[in-house]
Amino acid sequence: MTKQAITTALITGASSGIGATYADRLARRGYDLVLVARDRKRMEALAARLREETGVAIDIIQADLTDAADLRRVETRLSEDEQIGLLVNNAGASAAGGLEGTNADVQDRLIRLNVTAVTRLAAAVVPRFVAKGEGSIINIASVMAFIPEAPSGVYSATKAYVLTYSQSLQEELGPKGLYVQAVLPAATRTEIFERSGIDINTFSGLMEVDELVDAALVGFDRRERVTIPPLHDASQWDAFETARRAMQPNFAQEHAAPRYRG
């Protein structure tokens, strides 16, 4: 999408990793930026470099999206700033241990960041996008949305929500001009592992963050609804979607399936 159509992108989790790389790539495409994260010092360093290298305008919002007051400040910016035409919902976290190994407070914080913040920020900007008849949202999900068997606590469940929520947004509001892309990384070399207390050396097949974001932006340019950079055989996703949709007409039944009736 050209800068004439979108002038500013707001990126959450923009101080490092995937978010910082999106900031770099979008600035080089001519987008002005609003960077959102907890680490102001890192965002200021990133903003200074990108201003010098690209000449774009960059604002910084220091915010913890698990804090209700901070989240509302970002929502207000999204709902009121007419220049923002792209929201990159990237901020997210994981935690070491499975469901038994993490307490309720840790699980609640993950849900507030990975689910509640994603939902509220999209809800803040969608009315303006729909009224204008254009606007885009990139939601960073994960291939873990397909792997409930993994001992990842509530992380897999939160990313399954992000995927389904993105698809629902696109299905309902795509005809009104909204474009929503769900990006599903696999293990990517970012700080999420260290912050979650997970040893990155236990993972194989780590993708570099530059390659991930560049691939995701190819999907964005193609207007893919779901982009899975590590999946080489796209027919597997197509088969998954075909099977899912094939079940839908069979759900409306007055009686339980014979296998459940004695």
Say what percent of the chain tops pLDDT 70. 92
Average pLDDT over residues 159-165: 98
Token pair 């907890």 is at which residue? 38
Ranking 133-142, 151-160, 195-204, 246-255 by mean pLDDT, the lowest is 195-204
Ranking 10-24, 203-217, 227-241 by mean pLDDT, the lowest is 203-217
pLDDT of residue 3: 44
For residue 99, name the pLDDT band (cuts at 50, 70, 90). confident
Token pair 């990313």 is at which residue? 159
Average pLDDT over residues 170-184: 98
pLDDT of residue 194: 61
Give the active site residue among 31, 155, 161, 179. 155
pLDDT of residue 4: 43
Q: Please say if 155 is a catalytic residue.
A: yes
Average pLDDT over residues 130-152: 93
CATH class of 8-237: alpha beta
Average pLDDT over residues 127-147: 96
Average pLDDT over residues 211-228: 98
Give residue limits of the domains in the chain.
8-237
What pTM was estimated for this model as a whole? Answer: 0.91
